Amino acid sequence: MMMMERKNTILIVDDEEIIKKSLEEVLKDEYNILQAENGQVALDMLAKHAKKIVVIVLDMVMPVMDGLTFLEDFRNHQEYNNIPVIVATSNEDEGVEQKCLEYGVWDFVMKPYNPILLQFRIKNVIDKSRMLMSERDPVTGLYTKLKFYQKVRQMLAEAVGQKFAFVRIDIDRFKMINNFYGVQEGDKVLITIAQELIKISAVFDYFVYARLENDVFACCLPYEEENIEILANDLQLNLKKVNKDYNIKVSCGVYVISDYNMDVSEMYDRAYLAAKTCKGKFVQNIAYYDESMIEDMRQEQFVINAVNKAIEEEQFVVYLQPKINLVTGKPYGAEALVRWMHPTKGMIAPAEFIPVYERNGIIGRLDQYMWRKVCALLRKWLDEGKNPDPISVNVSRVNIYNPHLVKILNKIITEYRIPPQLLNLEITESAFMEDQSLVMKTVKRLHDLGFKIMMDDFGSGYSSLNVLKDMDVDYLKIDMKFLEEEKTFNGKGEKVLTSVVRMAKWLQLPSIVEGVETEEQVDFLKCIGCEYAQGFYYAKPMPVVEYEMYIAREKKKEEQISKNENADMIGELWNTRSSVSILFDALDVPIAIYEYRNDKIELLRSNNLYEEYINIENEELMKQEIVELKKKIKRALVGNLDYELEIERFKKQYCVLAKVLGQRENTWIIMVTYLEILNK
């Protein structure tokens, strides 16, 4: 099959039908022809077809709108800048010709047309404009990157001794304009910037500027802080004029040139590094480059380059931070947080690498690595016969939008034989907001598999209370920092947190508040009915081994606490008619209950046998015994352990057993039993 060669399009503007026809005859083999019978029609056609028109052949004398009036309008359109115009003259008026040249007309042909000559002229201007076009951006008519870099070099060489700044200008949220309002509106914004740059250029002796790509412009101008401010403000003000609803912002990254021999592309890089620091911030729209930015970039590069090896060598380690059930006061599960144990740099905190990995997608891999590690750990605990509480892992934005996420998670839990309810998934609130319906679909599929979902960092983004009801999640995580931002703990923030927790409760969504650091915070959270807390107040994120010890310790405490529940029984003991009292008296061993408080020990109650055997009437003996008891009991209390002691009484050996029955503040209740050791 033969390939059709694309023909260039020529616009012929002439009112005489015969001339248009004859021109079409001559040119139609080589070009597509558009025809307009006057200047106005030609302008309308340009509005539609400007992108494909390569030359305009323009008659001067026409009804409705003549050639000169057309040119006047035409040259005001930046976007037509690259289209050459050839004017057909009858040579009767030199003034017209001069005007045409002022308007930027490329060439003239005499009427009546000489077809051969016209063909040559058209070909010439097309070739020439092609050459120029590579130097000019078709939308704005500004220099393109390469030409701009040359011009900057030239200017700096010319203006030796002057101080210059290289400014990179970009438009925040430009993509949004293109997406929501269409490319034409986007182009309008670009052209507005270009026109403003042209205006500003008139103010300075030295000023070169260009559109480098998409929404990125650059300029190089004599450096003074004021100049940069004027530039940024003018651009911003004019953007507002396009449409004040667009809510777009220009940000300027500035490199004040210190090394004039540096490649211009490197100057650009520095301005870009600076620009990155103001992107996304609402107020600040000018940022200056400083040397530390290069350091940050190097650090970022290091973090990226090192990742493969770090994963291979398992330098990333799971740390666990317990969550506490505020109702029972007991730990309930933990969050897995990554730590990077670098062989030479030591421990690196997530803040140093997670944001970098989020920016370039590497986080997807790191997440999965962490999920595996956590599943392996859960498997180990299950194999050891422990009954582990759920561990939550973070699922970054990249993974939420990964179409294979559900499959990947399913594969991992199957491989390690982990019940899905043991692996909770924390998804950050902002990920929910970006594409709600897609995230909710994923969440639904994860629920179907049995996973529990926590919405992480609630309140940090732009979600409102209202969205909560549409989010089918199982837990809400709220960062305490959220309160700090509201400044006063006793002010608004407290109220907001209260209503968030209440609303969540109403939706049967338990809240976990993280970043809890003080006792007051804990009291407040308990008071508003928050279910779980996580924070340094309870425990910092810790290595797995430490976490295992922590859990073991907590288990032990729990047992102790259940001992304290004996307090009820002690209450019963004071009541001589209670069944416990009767049982106590009927026991076949001497038993006494002592209270230990402020270093004093006091007998509260003893049974009949005790009184008989131990003879509490004998004060001397009792004193001795109390001294002994005190020593032992104190030791026992420090370790909270039961203890034994052997004593001699009435020439008999007794083994004294003491057991802490309960404790309230600084008072311990101790049960002491005397068992006779039979002589062999």
Give residues in contact with ligand C2E (CB under 6 A). 321, 337-338, 349-351, 354, 363, 367, 370, 394, 396, 426, 456-457, 514-517, 535-536, 541
- Pick one of ligand C2E, Mg ion, none as the site partner of residue 354 (Cβ within 5 to 8 A by kind): ligand C2E
Burial (CB < 10 A; 0-12, 13-18, 19+), residue 377, is buried
Contact 222, 204 (CB under 8 A): yes
Q: In the complex, what is the shortest distance from the CB of residue 103 to ligand C2E, in angstroms, rounded to a whole number?
A: 60
Contact 275, 253 (CB under 8 A): yes
Q: Does residue 367 touch Mg ion according to CB under 5 A?
A: no
Q: In the complex, what is the shortest distance from the CB of residue 522 to ligand C2E, in angstroms, rounded to a whole number?
A: 11
Q: Does residue 368 touch Mg ion according to CB under 5 A?
A: no
**With left for phi above 0 and alpha for psi between -120 and 50, is residue 54 left, alpha or beta?**
alpha
Sign of the torsion angle spanned by Cα atoms 105, 107, 113, 115:
negative
Tokens coding 483 = 């309160």
Q: In the complex, what is the shortest distance from the CB of residue 244 to Mg ion, in angstroms, rounded to a whole number?
A: 36
Q: Does residue 429 touch Mg ion according to CB under 5 A?
A: no
Nearest residue (CB) to ligand C2E, 141 versus 515: 515
What does the alpha-carbon distance between residue 192 and residue 529 come to, in Å, rounded to a whole number?
55
Could you tell me where the beta strands, DSSP code E, fall in 283-419?
Answer: 286-288, 316-325, 331-342, 346-348, 391-395
Nearest residue (CB) to Mg ion, 193 versus 500: 500
Of 339, 352, 351, 273, which Cα lies nearest the Cα of 310? 339
| CB-side neighbour CA atoms (13 Å) of 237 | 8
- Pick one of ligand C2E, Mg ion, none as the site partner of residue 516 (Cβ within 5 to 8 A by kind): ligand C2E
Q: What is the helix (H) or strand (E) element at residue 600, kind and residue range?
A: strand 600-606
Q: In the complex, what is the shortest distance from the CB of residue 537 to ligand C2E, in angstroms, rounded to a whole number?
A: 6
- Pick one of Mg ion, ligand C2E, none as the site partner of residue 334 (Cβ within 5 to 8 A by kind): none
| CB-side neighbour CA atoms (13 Å) of 515 | 11
Of 58, 129, 132, which Cα lies nearest the Cα of 96? 58
Nearest residue (CB) to ligand C2E, 394 versus 663: 394
Place of tokens 């309230």: 664
Which region among 9-17, 422-430, 612-620, 641-649 touches Mg ion (by CB under 5 A)?
422-430
- Pick one of Mg ion, ligand C2E, none as the site partner of residue 515 (Cβ within 5 to 8 A by kind): ligand C2E
Contact 193, 250 (CB under 8 A): yes
Q: Does residue 215 touch Mg ion according to CB under 5 A?
A: no
- Pick one of ligand C2E, Mg ion, none as the site partner of residue 531 (Cβ within 5 to 8 A by kind): none
- Pick one of ligand C2E, Mg ion, none as the site partner of residue 84 (Cβ within 5 to 8 A by kind): none
Which region among 78-86, 267-275, 450-458, 560-568 touches Mg ion (by CB under 5 A)?
450-458
Place of tokens 């039908």: 17
Place of tokens 């509201």: 486
Q: In the complex, what is the shortest distance from the CB of residue 264 to ligand C2E, in angstroms, rounded to a whole number?
A: 38
Q: In the complex, what is the shortest distance from the CB of residue 580 to ligand C2E, in angstroms, rounded to a whole number?
A: 44
Contact 286, 252 (CB under 8 A): yes
Nearest residue (CB) to ligand C2E, 391 versus 418: 391
**Given 14, 426, 531, 625, the residue binding Mg ion (CB under 5 A):** 426
**Residue 112: is the preceding peptide bond cis (ω within 30°)?**
yes
Nearest residue (CB) to Mg ion, 423 versus 592: 423
Nearest residue (CB) to ligand C2E, 138 versus 350: 350
Contact 480, 537 (CB under 8 A): no
**Given 14, 172, 456, 531, the residue binding Mg ion (CB under 5 A):** 456
Q: Does residue 457 touch Mg ion according to CB under 5 A?
A: yes
What does the alpha-carbon distance between residue 426 and residue 516 come to, in Å, rounded to a whole number?
18
Q: In the complex, what is the shortest distance from the CB of residue 655 to ligand C2E, in angstroms, rounded to a whole number?
A: 48
| CB neighbours of residue 126 within 10 Å | 17
Local structure of residue 5 (DSSP, 8 states): P
Strand 532-534 vs strand 316-325: parallel, antiparallel, or unpaired?
antiparallel
Q: Does residue 137 touch Mg ion according to CB under 5 A?
A: no
Which region among 215-223, 295-303, 339-347, 420-428 touches Mg ion (by CB under 5 A)?
420-428
Q: Greatest CA separation found in the chain? A: 147
**Given 394, 463, 511, 534, the residue binding Mg ion (CB under 5 A):** 394
- Pick one of ligand C2E, Mg ion, none as the site partner of residue 125 (Cβ within 5 to 8 A by kind): none
Q: Does residue 424 touch Mg ion according to CB under 5 A?
A: no
Q: In the complex, what is the shortest distance from the CB of residue 320 to ligand C2E, in angstroms, rounded to a whole number?
A: 11
Nearest residue (CB) to Mg ion, 215 versus 426: 426
* Contacts of residue 33, Cβ cutoff 8 Å, sequence gap at least 6: 9, 10, 12, 23, 24, 27
Q: In the complex, what is the shortest distance from the CB of residue 431 to Mg ion, in angstroms, rounded to a whole number?
A: 12
Name the H helices within 507-618.
519-527, 544-564, 567-574, 579-586, 608-614
Q: In the complex, what is the shortest distance from the CB of residue 436 to Mg ion, in angstroms, rounded to a whole number?
A: 20
| CB neighbours of residue 646 within 10 Å | 10
- Pick one of Mg ion, ligand C2E, none as the site partner of residue 137 (Cβ within 5 to 8 A by kind): none
Name the H helices within 401-456.
405-416, 429-434, 436-449
Nearest residue (CB) to ligand C2E, 82 versus 402: 402
Residue 168 is which amino acid? R
Q: In the complex, what is the shortest distance from the CB of residue 336 to ligand C2E, in angstroms, rounded to a whole number?
A: 6
Q: In the complex, what is the shortest distance from the CB of residue 351 to ligand C2E, in angstroms, rounded to a whole number?
A: 6
Residues forming contacts to Mg ion in the complex (CB under 5 A) are 394, 426, 456-457
